[in-house]
Amino acid sequence: MPKIKLDLKVVKNLVYPYVPMLVGVNVGGKPNIITIGLIGWLCYDVLSISVGHQQYSKAGLLENGTFSINQPTAALVKELDYCGIVSGREADKASLFETFYGDLATAPMIRECPLNIECRVIQTLIRKVHTVFLGEVAAVHADESALTEGVPTIEKVEPVFYAPDPTRDRRSYGYWGLGERLGHAFEIGKEIERA
Amino acid sequence: MPKIKLDLKVVKNLVYPYVPMLVGVNVGGKPNIITIGLIGWLCYDVLSISVGHQQYSKAGLLENGTFSINQPTAALVKELDYCGIVSGREADKASLFETFYGDLATAPMIRECPLNIECRVIQTLIRKVHTVFLGEVAAVHADESALTEGVPTIEKVEPVFYAPDPTRDRRSYGYWGLGERLGHAFEIGKEIERA
């Protein structure tokens, strides 16, 4: 099958899919919540968030050096969308949720989200559109309802995915939920090994 | 709802979910394919891959400074699993696929994958278990069948997700497919804005 080389100007459409998160940042001593699609899972204990140069939360990130990542469930998809539409300059988005603080004291977390990760900024990467904040995991909090024998469980978390949706309109984006289980890891590949 | 603070030794289970990719690296001048769950989407044009310190492909990454990220579809889930089970030291995994090269000449790509991203290493981050290679996007290739008016389309790509599966066994992992569309982005949140 021939390949088409895509224009790098649309590269931002090539993350398949984003797993957007609700991110908590203190700004001027008050909690703000932002929706971030570009979350980097660098390794087991380093995550990153990508923040536009003009975004309201950037000053708080530079001031405190802390943030939280809060996993939205499918039930929170409207709040997820809202926190990506409205700026903290215009609205008190944290008031939509019950927020709490943990070990880092300045990384506000969302009680309604089943998983909450506190991060300490260890590095920044300044790019054309975004500053990328790399955060080392400091603590993780979970709802018991999201766990099975202490392990977070995807079917209980009900994650939300975000991607372009050009089937509707060339510039549309949409949200999707989790689908069917396709198979067991470290097992289904053994059929090829044996073949 | 009370929160449970989790042991950081299980933090590696907290990525909900991974979006695993087939990564192409030349090692000793020959293509090798590895499955990587920890893919970081740092910003529009920087991605990262996380490679264990003992992994076969690490030498090739350090030598060439290039790699590719290839999006598996649900139809490739067995191959995806296999390339995570078997080391390039033991098997010629690239022979499972038709590989090709692009602009960077040393980043082998997989023709069967609908999206292929060539990256040039710009930075490394050395952590306890992994070396994280940050790559700047150099070129993107796509199958026409994955596009709608030139835009990659998630329902055509049929992505694969990977997560712990403790409902089966405490240490199990599994693969899932994409689910239902939950709503339109930059729209459903407006209901909250108006409320």
- Gyration radius (Cα) of chain A, Å: 18
Residues 6+ apart with CB under 8 A from B179: A176, A177, A178, A179, A180
Q: Distance from A132 to chain B by nearest Cα, in Å?
A: 6
Q: Distance from A35 to chain B by nearest Cα, in Å?
A: 11
How much is the pLDDT for A170? 80
Q: Distance from B97 to chain A by nearest Cα, in Å?
A: 13
Residues of chain A contacting residue B84, judged by C-beta atoms under 8 Å apart: 185-186, 189
Residues A121, A65 contacting (CB under 8 angstroms): yes
Residue segments in chain B with a per-residue pLDDT below the cut of 70? 1, 10-15
pLDDT at residue A1 tops 70: no
How much is the pLDDT for B17? 84
How much is the pLDDT for B171? 84
pLDDT at residue A193 tops 90: no
Considering only alpha carbons, which residue of chain B is nearest residue A96? B192
pLDDT per residue as tens digits for the range A109-126: 999 999 999 999 999 999
How much is the pLDDT for B12? 66
**SS3 call for B146:** helix
Residues B155, A179 contacting (CB under 8 angstroms): no
How much is the pLDDT for B168? 87
Residues of chain A contacting residue B128, judged by C-beta atoms under 8 Å apart: 45
Residues of chain A contacting residue B150, judged by C-beta atoms under 8 Å apart: 6, 10
pLDDT band at A8 (very low <50, low <70, confident <90, very high): confident
User: How many residues are recorded in chain B?
Assistant: 195
Residues of chain B contacting residue A169, judged by C-beta atoms under 8 Å apart: none
pLDDT at residue A83 tops 80: yes
Tell me the domains of chain A and their CATH numbers. Answer: 18-194 (2.30.110.10)
The mean predicted confidence, pLDDT, of chain A is 93
Q: With a threshold of 0.90, does the pTM exceed it?
A: yes
What's the whole-number mean pLDDT along residues A6-21?
76
Cis peptide before B72 (omega within 30 of 0): no
pLDDT band at A12 (very low <50, low <70, confident <90, very high): low
What's the whole-number mean pLDDT along residues A61-82?
97
DSSP codes of every residue in chain A: --EEEEPGGGGGG--SSB--EEEEEEETTEEEEEEES-EEEEETTEEEEEEETT-TTHHHHHHH-EEEEEPPPGGGHHHHHHHHHS-TTT--GGGGS-EE--TTSSS-EETTSSEEEEEEEEEEEE-SSEEEEEEEEEEEEEEGGGEETTEE-HHHH---EEEE-TTT-TT-EEEEEEEEEEEETTTTTHHHHH-
DSSP B168: T
